[in-house]
A and B are shown apart, each in its own frame.
Chain A
Amino acid sequence: MKQNLSINRREFLWKTGGGFGALALQGLLADTTPSHARFPHHKPRAKRVVQLFMNGGTSPMDTFDYKPTLKAQHGERFDPGEGQLVESVTNSPGFKVMASPFEFQRRGQCGQWVSEVFPHIGSMVDELAFLMSMHSPSNVHGIASYMQNTGFTLPGFPCVGAWVSYALGKINRNLPEFVVMPDPRGLPYNNLANFSSGFLPAKHQGTVIQPSSQTPIPFLHPPEMASGITAEGESDGLNLLQKLNAAHLQSLGGDQLLESRMQSYEDAARLQLLAPELFDLTKETSAVKTLYGLDAEETKDFGTRCLMARRMLERDVRFIQIWSGAGGPSNNWDNHSNIHKELPWIARQVDLPVAGFLKDLKATGLLEDTLVIWTTEFGRMPFTQGESGRDHNGGTFVTWLAGGGVQAGTSMGQSDRWAWKAETPIWCYDLHATVLHLLGIDHTKLTFRHNGLDRRLTDVHGEILKPILG
C-alpha cells in the first residue's frame, strides 16, 4: 500500500509537472526545497531583516528597564521572597542588590525609559517597539546564544537567517541572501555555529562578510600570492568551462543538477563583478558618514558595518546580522567586573551608529519594508558580582524591533521590580514567530524533516507578538 502511495506521487508529478526538466528538478532537489513550499503564506509586511546582536548579555536594568527598587534596596541582600532559589552561574557571593549607576530619562512621545548609555538610540524610541521581558532558559553564553539564534539550546540547528533564506530565497540573485558581519575583534560565542544552516543545505548558512578585510567575501578572488591569474583568463576560463559542461551535459543526456552547477559559475562571476561596488564607501557623502559615526574612532567600525548593511538592503540582501562584541570574557557586553566602566565603553561603540542607521533607513524609505531587530542572548543580575559587576541572567532582558510591520513607539512585557525575572516571559520562539510572520511566513508551516522529526524554527512553541504589530 505504501509502495502504491509513492508511485501515486510519481504519477501525480508526471501528470502535473510537465516536461522532464521540471520533473527531474523536483526529484533531484527534493531534499533542498521547502517541504511546504508556496511562500509567502500571507502578505508580508517586511522583505528584509537586519538583526543587531549585542554579544555577551546586555544589562536590561542599566539600559532600558528602569528599576527604582534597585536604588531603594541598594546594598541590601537580594531576597525575592517566597523562598525562591537565587542562583548565579559563575560566582557572585553575597547577592547584594546593586542600583544602576546610570541616570534614566523618559524619552520621546512614547516615554520609554532609557539610560544615559544610549543617548542617541534614546532619541529614536518613537520608532521602536520594545519587548521588555524576553526570557532565556539558560544562563550560559553558548547555550543562550544558540537559543536566541536557532531556538534550540544545542548545536546543529539552523539559525533564523538560514530558515529565512531556505523559505524565501534570494531577492537579488547576485548577492548572498544571508550575510553576517561579525565584530572584527573576534567571532561571537559558538563561533560560526551561530550562523549555521544546521541540517538545512549548506547554501543557507550565513555568508561571513568582513567589510574591513582584504577579502570581505571568502574566496571572492584568488589569493594575492597566486600567480598567473588574470581577469581575462578568468573570463575566458568561464567560457571554456561552460563549453566543456555543455558538451558533458549533452553526452550524459540532460540532468538538472549539472545545469545548476553551470548556472552557479555565472552567478559567481556576477558576484565578483558587483562586490567591489558594494564595498566602495567613497561615494557616500560626508554627512552620511558622520551620521553613522565613521569619523570617530570608537564608532567607526560598527558604523561602517551599519552603513554596509544599508547598502546591502538597497541591493535587496534578504537577511543581515551584525554583531557587537567578540566571544570571551571581554570586548563585549559581558560586564562581569564593572558595569560603570565596561557598559558605557561598549554602548558608545553602537549607540550613534544604530541611531544613524535607523534615521537613514527612515529617510531612504527602506525602513518601511525592512525589519530591524536589536537583541542579545540574556540579561544580567540585579545584584553585584565582585565589586560592581553583574553576572549572567536569563530571567529577563530587553529586545527592540523597528520597521516593516512594527507598531512604532510601543512596548510589551513586564519584568519584576528588580529586572531579575520576567513577569510575562517572551521567548525567542515568540520573537522568531513574529519575524517569520512579518515576512509572510506561518512559523508552524515552515518545516524540515531531520532525524525523524519535522523540525521548526519555533519547535512546538511560538506566539505572534500582536501588541507590537502595526
Chain B
Amino acid sequence: MILSHIQQMKFGRSICPLIALLLSFGFLPASKVRTEETPPLSWAMRPLVPPELPAPMLPGWEINPVDRFVTRKLIENNLEPSPSASKSQLLRRVFIDVWGLPPNLEDLESIKSTQFEKEWPLLVDRLLSSPHYGERWARHWMDLIHFAETHGHDEDAPREHAWPYRDYLIRSFNEDKPYATFAIEQIAGDAIQPAHPDALVGTGFLAAGPWDESSQMGILDGTIDKLVAQYLDRDDMITTTMSSFLGLTVHCARCHDHKFDPISASDYYSLQAVFAGVDRNNRPYDHNAGTHQKRQRLLHLKTELLAGRYPDSELLDETSVQRVTSWTSSRQRVLDSWQAGQPEFDGDSASVGEFQRSDGSIFFPKPASPTGKQAWTFASPYNHPTAIQLEVFPDDRLPASGPGWATDGNFRLSEFKVFKRSDDGESWTPVKLSNPQNDFSEHTTSVRYLIDDDEQTTWGILPQTGQTHRCYFELPPETSIRKNDLIRMELIHQHGDHQWVGRCRVSVTDVSPKDTHPFLEASLQSAFETAAIERTSEQQLTLSRHATMEHWDRQLESLPPARQVYAATSFFQQAGNFKPALGPRNIHRLARGSIHSPKEIMAPGALTQFTHVPWNPNNRDLNNESQRRLVLGEWISHRENGLFWRTMANRVWQHHFGSPLAGTPNDLGNSGQSPTHPDLLDWLACELRDSGGSLKHLHRIILNSRTYRQSATYRTNAAQIDALNQLYWRMSPRRLDAEAFRDSLLALSDDLDPLMGGPSVKQFSMEPGIHVTPIIDYEGIKPDAPSLARRSIYRFLFRTLPDPFMQSMDCPDASNWTPKRAVSVGPLQALALMNDDLVIHRSQRMAQKMRHFGQELEEQITAWFRLSLLRTPTPEELDAVTGYAQKHGLANACRFLFNSNAFMFVE
C-alpha cells in the first residue's frame, strides 16, 4: 500500500525529504524513485478543454454551472449543501468580499427580503461596477507579487514613485482589463504600447519586489558579489512573473533541472536572458499620450546612442556636423567667460604674490612660516557671478615644478574661503560655496574638505605634480555681488611643513551652473581641444555623440515635467556603481547555480517542454531587450497556455471562498496539490479565456451561485465526512483580514476618506536614519491624523518595518510572495486588537456616532449591532453589553465589540 503510493508520488504529491527518508530506511530501491526522464506536464499544464457540464442533480441547484459541479461532488460523497445564509449575513459577506468594506443600513434596507432572489444579481453588478472593487482586488495582487515601497535589505530606501503602479492595478481591475492584456502590460507594457503611458506603468510589476541597494550601488561592477546581486535580482523577476501568472515554481530550476516539473535549468537561464536588460528604477512617463510618445522616443534614442547602437552615419551627417560646430562654439564661450581680476593683497595675507599678466595667475614666493594664509581681493567682472574656480599651475621656480611649495611639488590646502563686502561696506561676509568638483585628488584628500570648515582636512594632488589642476564651486544664486564689487579670497594652509600653493588663479563666470560643465570626460575634452580640421573621425564621433545627446536633452527639457514610476527599465542615470544595462546583458547558464561555474551564453526563451505553446518571436528583434519580454508576455498569456487561465481562475475562487480549488495556488505543478474539483476549475478557466479574459464575468458567475450563498452554520454530520469543507457543503467562516478590519472600522465610524489613488500616505513619522534606511515610528502620528483615514490600500508599504498592527493581523511584509495569507491567532494579536490606537480611537468615534441613534444606552448598543452586523442583538447580547457600557462607557464597549468573533468573522 505504502509502496504503491510512493510510486504514485514520483509524479504526484511527492515530497522529496519524505522519499529521502524512506530510501534511507531501505524501503525502496533508489531506481524506482529517481528518474532521468523529463517529468510530464502536470494536470494544469495540459491544454485546456471545456469540460462537460454535470447533469442537474438537485432542484434549485441546476441553473448556475458552478452549483452543478459542486452538488455533483457533494452527492457523490453523501453530502448535501447548506441552505442560503440570511440576508444580513450575505450582505456582509459579499461587501467584504468584493469591496473590503462593510455594507450600510441603506444597503440592507434597499433590498427587500421577498425580492432577494431577483435583487441579488443586481447587487452583484452594483458591487462589481464600483471602484471599491478594484481597491479590494488590487491588494490580493499586491500580496502575490510582494509589492512594497521600499527596497528591503539593509539599505531600505523609500521608493516615492512606486504608487502609480498600485493605481494602475486598481484601474485595471475596475476597467475589467482583458486578463491577457493585464499580463502583457505588466511584463512588457513599454514594448507593446509605446504610446500608451498606462502600459508602461504596468511594468512596475517587475520592480515590485526587494532590491539590494548596497550590492547594486555600493559594489564595484564585475566583482563576484555584484554579479550575484544581478542574477538574484533577475531571479526575483522570474519568480514573480512565473509564479503569479502561471503558478509555476520555475525558480526551483536555478541549480538543477526541476525535480517534478518539466522545467530544465536551461529553461530557467533562458528566462534569465528574457530579463537580461532590465533593472529597477524610476522611469519617466507622461499622462498626455503625445508627450509620452515624444519623451519615450527621445529616451530610446539616448539609450541607443549610449549603448553604441546609434548609426555612425547619422552622427556624421550635416545636421550633426552643425550641432558639433554650435556646441564647440558655445563651449568656447563658456571657457572664455572665466575671468580673473587683478589681485590686491592686504596686511592680512601672510604672503604677497606677484600677478602674472600673461595668464592672470599669481605666483607666491617661498612661504616664511609652516602654516598661514594667502588673502587677496579682486573686482568682480560680472553682475551676479555664478561659479568660481581655483586653478593651480606648475612653475619652474617651484620644487619639482610645483604647483605647491612642498619639497615634492605638492601642496596641502586646508580651506578655500570667499567673501563679499557686507552691506555696510565695513566688513566681509562669507559666501557659501557648493557642489565642489575637481579633476584629481590625492588619496584621502578631497576638494570637499576645502569648504568643510575643518582646517585639519586638506586637498592635495600627489602624485600628479608638475601639472595644472582645477577645482570648481558654485556660488549661491542669491549673492548680491555686482560688477566691480570686491571679492575676497582666502587660501588657508594649516597642514604645516610649508606645503603652500605656489602658483594659482582664481576666476569667476556668469554662465548658469547647469551650462558650465566644468569637467568634460577626457576623450571629449581632447576632441574639443583638437582643431576641427585635425580631428580624427573617432574624435568627430565623440563630439557628435555629445552634441546630439545635449540636443536631445534640451528637447526633453522643453517637455512638460514627467511623472515617474518605479518600474523595470534599461536606461536611467547612473548612481554610484548602479549602471543601466542599455540592452541585454550576457546571461550564462550557471552550472549548479554557481556563479563560479558559468557555462554557455543563453538566448531568451520560455519552457521548451510546453510544446503546445511555442516560443514565437514573430521576427521581432531579440537584441532589443523589451522585445524579449514582449515575446515572453505573449507566450505566458497565450490562448493555448491552459496554465495561465487555470492559475487565475483558481485565485478568483480562492478569494471568494477563502480557499483555492487547487490548494497550492503558486504551484500547479506535479508536486502541488491536485484540485478538489478539476472539472469546475477547468470550466472556470475556459469561461475566463472565452469571455475575453473578463474577471468580472467570473466573479458574476461565482457570486450568483447558490454555492456562494450557503450559510456558514456548522453541521456535525457533514463535518464527519468533510471536516475541511473542501467540497463546499457550507460557506467557511472567514476572519477579517488586516485591511478589511481596519477599513471597516474607518467606514463604520464615518471617518473613511473616500479619496482614491495618488501618492501613498505615510502612516508613520519619518526622519533620516544613520545610513540609508530612515527611522520611522508608527506611533509618531496622532490617531486622528487625516492620513490615517485613507483606505488601507493607500498606505505606504515599508518593507523591513511593516505596520506592527497590520502585521499582527497577518498582512504580509512583502519580503516574500504570498499567494495565501496565514490566519494566525495569538496573544500578541489580541493585545494589538485591544490596544492599538486605531481600535481605541475609532471605537471612540463609533461611540459618538451611536449616541445619535437614541437617548437610551440600549438603543445605542442596538445601533452598533445594526450598523456593524446588520442585525439586532439577542437579548443576552444586549443585556451583557449594556451592563458593561453602563459601568465602563460606550467607547470601551465598542472596543470589545470590535474584538468579538461576531465582528471579526464573516459568516
Contact = CB atoms under 8 A, between A and B. Distances in A.
Contacts of B215: 140, 142-143
B813 A193 contact: yes
B153 A155 contact: yes
Contact of A248 (B154, B214, B835, B902): B902
Interface stretch (B107-115, B295-303, B665-673): B665-673
Contact of B153 (A143, A249, A254, A258): A143
Contacts of B905: 258
B880 interface: yes
A10 B832 contact: no
Interface residues of B, number: 116
13 contacts: A36-B17, A89-B223, A93-B443, A145-B154, A154-B232, A193-B813, A198-B816, A202-B822, A221-B835, A236-B887, A254-B714, A328-B769, A456-B17
Given A154-B232, A219-B836, A444-B17, A6 B824 contact: no
A400 interface: no
Contacts of A210: none
Contacts of A141: 154, 214
B69 to A, nearest CB: 14
A192 B830 CA distance: 21
A241 interface: yes
A31 B822 contact: yes
B823 A257 contact: yes
Contact of A257 (B218, B813, B825): B825
B824 A453 contact: no
B840 interface: yes
Interface stretch (A22-30, A66-74, A282-290, A347-355): A22-30
Contact of B770 (A217, A234, A330): A330
Nearest to A141: B154
A245 B900 contact: yes
Interface stretch (B178-186, B311-319, B334-342, B799-807): B799-807
Interface string A239-272: 0110111011100111101101111110110111
Given A143-B153, A241-B899, A452-B252, A23 B719 contact: yes
Contacts of B805: 219
Nearest to B213: A142
B214 A244 contact: no
Contact of A329 (B210, B771, B884): B771
A352 B123 CA distance: 69
B723 A219 contact: no
A195 to B, nearest CB: 10
A378 to B, nearest CB: 12
A85 B813 CA distance: 38
A32 B771 contact: no
B581 to A, nearest CB: 21
B760 to A, nearest CB: 19
A189 interface: yes
Given A24-B719, A202-B807, 8 more contacts: A14-B720, A186-B769, A191-B773, A247-B877, A262-B901, A264-B830, A267-B827, A452-B249
Interface stretch (B94-102, B494-502, B889-897): B889-897
Contacts of A272: 831
A196 interface: yes
Given A240-B880, A244-B900, A20 B887 contact: no
A7 to B, nearest CB: 8
A294 to B, nearest CB: 26
A155 B210 contact: yes
Most buried by A among B726, B815, B823, B825: B825
B815 A198 contact: yes
Interface in B777-833: 779, 799-802, 804-805, 807-808, 810, 813, 815-817, 819-820, 822-832
Nearest to B811: A202
Nearest to B210: A155
B881 A222 contact: no
Interface residues of A, number: 110
Output the residue of A24, A153, A219, A270 with the most chain B CB within 10 A: A219
Interface string B518-539: 0000000000000000000000
Contacts of B719: 20, 23-24
A451 B666 contact: yes
A192 B892 contact: no
Contacts of A230: 888
B724 A27 contact: yes
A186 B807 contact: no
B478 to A, nearest CB: 34
Nearest to B726: A6
Interface in A64-105: 87, 89-90, 93
Contacts of B667: 451-452
Contact of B824 (A142, A201, A255, A450): A201
A240 B902 CA distance: 13
Interface in B218-250: 218-220, 223-225, 228, 232, 236, 239, 243, 249
B874 A247 contact: yes
Given A31-B822, A267-B826, A5 B17 contact: no
Contact of B669 (A6, A155, A229, A452): A452
B674 A2 contact: yes
Interface stretch (B5-13, B355-363, B422-430, B506-514): B5-13
A226 interface: yes
A331 interface: yes
Given A20-B716, A191-B801, A264 B666 contact: no
A326 B896 contact: no
A111 interface: no
Contacts of A186: 769-770, 775
Contact of A237 (B20, B716, B827, B895): B895
Contacts of B849: none
Which of B664, B830, B832 has the most C-beta atoms of chain A within 10 angstroms of its own C-beta? B830
